[in-house]
Structure 1
Amino acid sequence: MKGKVLFILLLSASCLYGQERSNMRTADSLKRFNALNQLDEVIVTGQFEAQSARNSVYSIRTIGSEQIRLRGATSLMQILNTEPGVRFSNDLALGTSDISLMGISGKGVKILLDGVPMLDRGEIRESLGQIDVHTIDRIEIVEGPMSVSYGTDALGGVINIITKKSPASEVFSLSAKVQEESAGDEYSGFGNKGSHNQHVSAAYNRNRWSFTGTFSQNDFGGWKGQAADRELEWNPKKQLLGGGSVGYRHDGLNIWYRLNATDETISLLGRANPNNNLATDKDYISRRFFHQAQLDWKLGSALSFNGAASYTDYSRRTKTTSLNVLNGDRRLSLEPDAQAKSLFDHTFFRVTMQYRLSDKVSLQPGAEVNLNGSSGDRIQGSPEINDYALFVSSELKLWKGINIRPGIRMLRNSVYDAPPVIPSLNTHIMLGKKLDMRLSYARGFRAPSLRELYFEFFDASHSITGNADLKAEYSHSYNGSLTWHNESKGNTALGVTLSSFYNVFSNLIEIGINADKPDASSYINIGRSKTTGGSVQGNARWRSLRGMLGFSYIGRYNRISEDEEFGGPLPQFTWSPEVNSNIIYTLPNAGASINLSYKFNGRLPAYYISEQDGERTLVGGRTSSYNLADLSIHKEIRKMTTLSFGVKNLLNVTRVSNTAIDSGSAHNSTGPSPVSYGRSFFLGLTFQWSKDLSNNK
């Protein structure tokens, strides 16, 4: 069936292309071209109200809708992997990926969907892989703590995923997309090789009411790589992603409800035992239902209210079966812990008020409640963690060109002694018409998760127990940036940003050996850690060409530098460079765009101490550098139809050498680190149709 879909896609594309004149110019292509040429985007993350990025006290990077569309991505990781300061690590044994931002692991990065926190089982940000990319309008990335506004986990920064909303005009629209992609050199339209992606959506907006519905299916057949027998190096993954929303808008009131549902199965195929021809297979089955409701109510030019509520029901089940590879007989395994299920739920409320006392002073008080619960075969009991917070911040524009934003957050936690007050101070200084400076200090915190407190997990690759005595993590963060921008009246613009950061962490939670349970790894507070670094990012636009080039140099704390025996000659930080670039060339008259994305991830050095027979030895390791590049081309072949094709992982990087032991990992071992499943080719067809309803009253 999939092969037929691909054949029809190719045939339709070629026929439609022949019918269309090459100089066709559509309103959509011009709209997209203009969107690409907006260097100063409107942002909402951490703001009192939506405003220009230049006027914000925060330094915020935005990945716009056109950048997302041009990447041809089927997952958020494919969008973020060439962003500055962003790296991903892959655990192929569990089929999960985790993110790090500016040297801070994913547990210190807050993931938001329309400003509402996503639920994750623990320190791994699995939620990033369970969001439908077709529903994303843009992504806003804030580097540095935002604990005053968003609470726990926002130690290193915030990634806010803004979804598409119904247009303000009265319209009915339909959209559909089919994309076929190889996995390295593996592809089969009729079989289970490669990646097969389908998406449909509809939106209706009339008489102040709006309705949307979306459905996507992602079917990844895995990748053989260097695995032997039945095993695969990258495991198959099947996803069903659905959602819908209803909204009402009138005068200053905007209220809406949205449901996002995910059904995901990751399959691990075991090696057949030659003695009995039995193979043990595992399926990791995840189901997520994410309900959220939001309200924006503007009562005049000086007063507005915002409210948000959400409930997440998330489960992950391990299904283990035994397969006779000769006759195909499959049975449930009766081994201990072979069938396990964990349940997690999260209830969230937040309300804020924005009040403008004068042109120089604005105030935002707010309250927030987080209720977390879990249960399951690998969870001790049915624990709960409840968090209650009050926060207030203000914007002070007491002098021309200077905006100061102080803020504090007061909280109470049901399990641990929460910090009584979390402060922050952000400043934005306009040094001229073209030059801006931002300086900030913030205290951050991260509460131990239910998984870190009460989890127990044992298999061939992992031996982990929770630690109910964990304390919260804390941080002090200092950030500064200088931005110069020059935009002419024509189609030419240039901008450069220099930035630096310094973070100090205490009570950092990582995997280690608990003295009370030396036979297994556990979560422990290891004491201090630090990250520091700087970057320069340049953006340019000239006619139909837009480009971005950046360089980052990130330092990660070397704990061995404190060791009395070996620390003397060692550096306090181990440094790693990064280079990233993105080039977009648009031909609006032809309805075509070309996108090239590139990222160099420099070598990650590390030091650790090996102990054997009472002898301590200093060992140096590293994760090797590598390059990532994606190329895509998009062509409007009819007014409502777009053809996209390209190459992902152009340089064919699959794995990199790794001789460093990650003390924070669940399985501390060296060996090649997986990056991707090789150079892949994709071909997609997108259909969009809309009808204006404003004249049908």
Structure 2
Amino acid sequence: MSNTCTYFLLQLGLLLFMSVPTLRAQQTDGIGIEGIILLPDGTPGALATVQIKGTKKGATADGNGHFFLSDIAPGKHELLISMVGYESVREPVFLEKDKHTQFTTRLKPANTQLNEVVVTGQYEPQSLKKSVYNVRVIDSERIRLRAAVNVMGVLNNELGFRFSNDLTLGTNDVQLMGMSGRNVKILLDGLPMVDRGDTRESLNQIDINSIERIEIVEGPMSVSYGSDALAGVVNIITKKPGAERLGITARVQEETANQDYNFLANQGVHIQNAGVTWQQKGWNASAGITNNTFGGWQGQSLGRTKDWLPKDQLFGHGKFGYRTDNTNIYYRLDALKENLLSQGPENENTHQARDQKYITYRYVHQLQGDWKLSDRLQLNGQASYTDYQRRTQTTILDVTTGRRTLSLGEGEQDLSKFASQTYRATVSYKVSSAVSLQPGIDINLDAASGARILGAPTINDYAFFVSSTLNPTANISIRPGLRFIKNSVYDAPPVIPSLNTKFALTKNLDLRLAYARGFRSPALRELYFNFFDASHSLRGNPNLKAEHSNSFNGSLVWQGSAWFKSTLGFFYNVFNNLISYGTDPSDPRIQMNINIDKFKTTGATLENVFSWKDLSATVGFSYIGRYNNLLTAPDTTMYANQVPSFLWSPEVNSNFTYVLRKIDTKLSLFYKYSGKRPTYLATVNTDGEVRATLTEIAPFHWADFTITKGLGKCLTLTTGIKNLFNITRLANTSTDTGGAHSSSGPAPVSYGRSYFLGLTFQWYKN
């Protein structure tokens, strides 16, 4: 990284550090030691314990994180502050005679949190141990240590997650447990995100700096969250206001793109973020802005073209709310403007080049409220409106004169619009200590328009769902659920059932078993979206059938102590009429969405989490099989005995963090091995015979190394190396990777090894 970048960041950090106001103790009428305990995100450290070392005198923080110790002898004291899931703090204080001492302290997450509180699919926030779902949590500390630019940079180390890249459009897609992204539900604070195509590009259109944690539930969640939730749910939860009256945050990070970096010439990756939070007497507000700029990477391309397209993202969010002990209501706006530039090669004869700019606008409005009417009865209401637009602007550049003109080619000037409304309301009622009920309604209204969309279609989905938690004994939890659907286009099943169970076999061993029926109606993008350009030939299919699935999954969790936890998971899914890509029978040059008669996935995962003194680690393994759908194709039945029913791929991951407490530094290593990805393609020889041909995408190793160093109470310096093994492309034996947005030849993964340096500023005042 250049000396200019380093000097710039250090100067900015010094400026921020010197600008921090001095906190002065507020005088009160009482004499003693008073304090506020906050969690890393600024929320109150309720129920944290405080004890004066060497005495029996102590206190417990209230719901606002506040505590007060009276009748204390003057002089020096050391307070021991502790809370489950967080590092203990030793806070020295000096109490003068007849004086009052006040301070605020912020806890840090423990090296490992084995009992995180989760909200996805729950009646109310609940610990992982009590939840009937097997939920994976990526907390704020891991996100911070990854120094990620986007959500993909956080999830790419998780078991079961794989990403594919479309270099032509500059987009990414996600796969979860062998299933494509179109079967993964992406939620922002529990409400669905909208995507233009079948890829889940919305994952990388969320400001990484606004995320508090990510919760992942594997397996169908159709009863709770409806369509698109066949493979699982990724719930991205944003930061909430804490107990501080005023908070200011900022982040800058500079990163190379392989060996390319120049701050002034816009080479490499550049991140700037600033945010502010405020609250008083229950009212709270927050706002933030982030600019992510990626200068692209030329890679193996020549001339004007680049392998990885330059991208500029501008994020903004604002939130205003009011909360009391029994009420929490807020409005939130998330806005995005994204520009991608695809520069075409120069024609040697005409000296002209064809450039395309992809411009995206996304506005997400959310209104959410929780009301606790009594200890037994709670209400929750959610509403969201998403306005999503993507414009394709094609121009012809005269390289000699620099003059640009709009291209008049078919489909080269396009504006696609998607509008989505979601309304959701639930009631949670505790009948007794053994029985709880949660009925709810879920309404989704989708509309689309544009030159590449056939007509102006709409799809409306209305659902009523009800679930119950039954605890016949202290060691058994049973959660049955039913969802009743009315779809404006498709005949949904009369009812979609699910059954989740949890058995505490011993004090340390929990067993979870679940069954769920899945239903997904085709999305507007699959029915009516047509996409033709130099690299894509994709046609929508209005005759698609709805998908159905039956899924079985379970997990065995052993937690032998506060420092070790092991989770063995397994799943088996059967899908009917799964939507995928196939060849248009009227034109073999065009791909279209089709229904596959049958598809299956199965596999197992093993994840171990442990912590010992200053070392914390996770080590995991997965083995996932995908059904070979050629076995059911009529032209390849004769080869059924020559190919296996399932094609398997292994994964291994590990995360290690070591704390150097004397210098307030954390060293972190994130590693993942992704095994080869095999598949069978139908090929036709010169005699017209159809044969099953095995193709494989090569395995690869990925690793990131980061160093995080605290600089006083307000600044944190982060540096390190991403993609240590310098992976750019993977060998691919297929001439077609099997997707409408894929290219033949090597499969792109990354722009290679990169180096980064970042500075984060956090200041809070009560």
Please tell me the TM-score bracket, short chain as reference: over 0.9
Listed one character per residue, the Cα deviations across residues 269-296 of structure 1 (whole Å, up to 9, x for unaligned) are 1000000110111011000000001001
Map residues 299-378 of structure 1 onto 2, 5 A cutoff: 299-378=373-452
Change (3 A) 1:29 1:231: farther
SS of 1:500's equivalent in the other structure is: strand
Aligned residue in 2 for 1:583: 656
C-alpha distance in 1 between matches for 2:284 and 2:659: 32
My pick for the range that moved more, 600-609 or 215-224, is 600-609
Q: Is 1:40 matched with 2:96?
A: no
C-alpha distance in 2 between matches for 1:29 and 1:419: 56
Change (3 A) 1:73 1:297: same
Q: Is 1:456 matched with 2:530?
A: yes
SS of 1:301's equivalent in the other structure is: coil
Aligned residue in 2 for 1:94: 169
Aligned residue in 2 for 1:537: 607
Shift of 1:663: 7.2
Q: Is 1:204 matched with 2:278?
A: yes
Change (3 A) 1:29 1:653: farther
Change (3 A) 1:398 1:619: same
| 1:565 partner letter | M
My pick for the range that moved more, 326-335 or 528-537, is 326-335
Listed one character per residue, the Cα deviations across residues 76-102 of structure 1 (whole Å, up to 9, x for unaligned) are 000000001000000111111000011
Aligned residue in 2 for 1:142: 217
Shift of 1:12: 5.5
| 1:509 partner letter | I
Change (3 A) 1:360 1:343: same
Contact residue 655 and residue 674 of structure 1 kept, 8 A: yes
Contact residue 341 and residue 357 of structure 2 kept, 8 A: yes
SS of 1:189's equivalent in the other structure is: coil
Listed one character per residue, the Cα deviations across residues 587-624 of structure 1 (whole Å, up to 9, x for unaligned) are 34432211110010000111122114423233211000
Instruction: Report the TM-score when normalising by structure 2.
Output: 0.86
Listed one character per residue, the Cα deviations across residues 415-473 of structure 1 (whole Å, up to 9, x for unaligned) are 11122211100000001110000000001122211111111111111111111111111
Aligned residue in 2 for 1:69: 144
Shift of 1:486: 2.0
SS of 2:641's equivalent in the other structure is: coil
Change (3 A) 1:26 1:592: farther
| 1:607 partner letter | Y
Contact residue 538 and residue 550 of structure 1 kept, 8 A: yes
1:554 to 611, 624, 627: 624
Shift of 1:231: 0.5
Change (3 A) 1:177 1:239: same
C-alpha distance in 2 between matches for 1:202 and 1:588: 29
Q: Whose radius of gyration is greater, 1 or 2?
A: 2
What residue ranges of structure 2 are gaps of 5+ in the alignment? 19-88, 92-102
Aligned residue in 2 for 1:656: 730
Listed one character per residue, the Cα deviations across residues 98-138 of structure 1 (whole Å, up to 9, x for unaligned) are 00011011000000011011111232101001000000000
Aligned residue in 1 for 2:127: 52
Aligned residue in 1 for 2:7: 7
C-alpha distance in 1 between matches for 2:227 and 2:666: 40
The sequence identity of aligned pairs, in percent, is: 51
Aligned residue in 2 for 1:217: 291
C-alpha distance in 1 between matches for 2:394 and 2:231: 37
| 2:678 partner letter | P
SS of 2:640's equivalent in the other structure is: coil
Contact residue 290 and residue 316 of structure 2 kept, 8 A: yes
| 1:657 partner letter | A
Aligned residue in 2 for 1:477: 551
C-alpha distance in 2 between matches for 1:257 and 1:667: 36
C-alpha distance in 1 between matches for 2:735 and 2:513: 35
| 1:307 partner letter | G
2:323 to 245, 249, 253: 249
| 1:291 partner letter | H
C-alpha distance in 2 between matches for 1:313 and 1:440: 36
Aligned residues: 680
1:495 to 565, 572, 584: 565
Aligned residue in 2 for 1:643: 717
Contact residue 550 and residue 579 of structure 1 kept, 8 A: yes
SS of 1:378's equivalent in the other structure is: coil
My pick for the range that moved more, 30-39 or 196-205, is 30-39
Listed one character per residue, the Cα deviations across residues 538-565 of structure 1 (whole Å, up to 9, x for unaligned) are 0000011110000000001112234322
Q: Is 1:418 matched with 2:496?
A: no
Change (3 A) 1:668 1:593: closer
Shift of 1:205: 1.0
Change (3 A) 1:130 1:642: same
SS of 1:423's equivalent in the other structure is: strand
Shift of 1:670: 3.3
| 1:529 partner letter | F
Aligned residue in 1 for 2:519: 445
Listed one character per residue, the Cα deviations across residues 624-654 of structure 1 (whole Å, up to 9, x for unaligned) are 0001101111111222111110111111000
Contact residue 183 and residue 678 of structure 1 kept, 8 A: yes
Shift of 1:664: 5.0
Aligned residue in 2 for 1:509: 579
Shift of 1:334: 1.9
Contact residue 109 and residue 141 of structure 2 kept, 8 A: no
Change (3 A) 1:349 1:91: same
SS of 1:426's equivalent in the other structure is: strand
My pick for the range that moved more, 453-462 or 586-595, is 586-595
C-alpha distance in 2 between matches for 1:243 and 1:667: 31
Q: Is 1:611 matched with 2:684?
A: yes
Shift of 1:662: 6.2
My pick for the range that moved more, 574-583 or 519-528, is 519-528
SS of 1:67's equivalent in the other structure is: helix
Contact residue 5 and residue 254 of structure 2 kept, 8 A: no
Contact residue 737 and residue 744 of structure 2 kept, 8 A: no
Change (3 A) 1:17 1:150: closer
1:400 to 451, 468, 474: 474
SS of 1:416's equivalent in the other structure is: coil
C-alpha distance in 2 between matches for 1:5 and 1:171: 34
Shift of 1:669: 5.2
C-alpha distance in 2 between matches for 1:466 and 1:89: 21
Aligned residue in 1 for 2:44: none
Shift of 1:172: 0.1
Map residues 160-309 of structure 1 onto 2, 5 A cutoff: 160-167=235-242, 169-309=243-383
C-alpha distance in 1 between matches for 2:567 and 2:272: 39
| 1:471 partner letter | K
1:468 to 524, 528, 542: 542
Shift of 1:527: 1.0
Q: CA RMSD in A?
A: 2.0
SS of 1:7's equivalent in the other structure is: helix
Contact residue 87 and residue 101 of structure 1 kept, 8 A: yes
Q: Is 1:593 matched with 2:666?
A: yes
Q: Is 1:127 matched with 2:202?
A: yes
C-alpha distance in 2 between matches for 1:76 and 1:399: 40
C-alpha distance in 1 between matches for 2:506 and 2:641: 46
Q: Is 1:434 matched with 2:515?
A: no
C-alpha distance in 2 between matches for 1:305 and 1:138: 24
Aligned residue in 1 for 2:50: none
Contact residue 176 and residue 184 of structure 2 kept, 8 A: yes
Shift of 1:315: 0.2
Contact residue 166 and residue 741 of structure 2 kept, 8 A: no
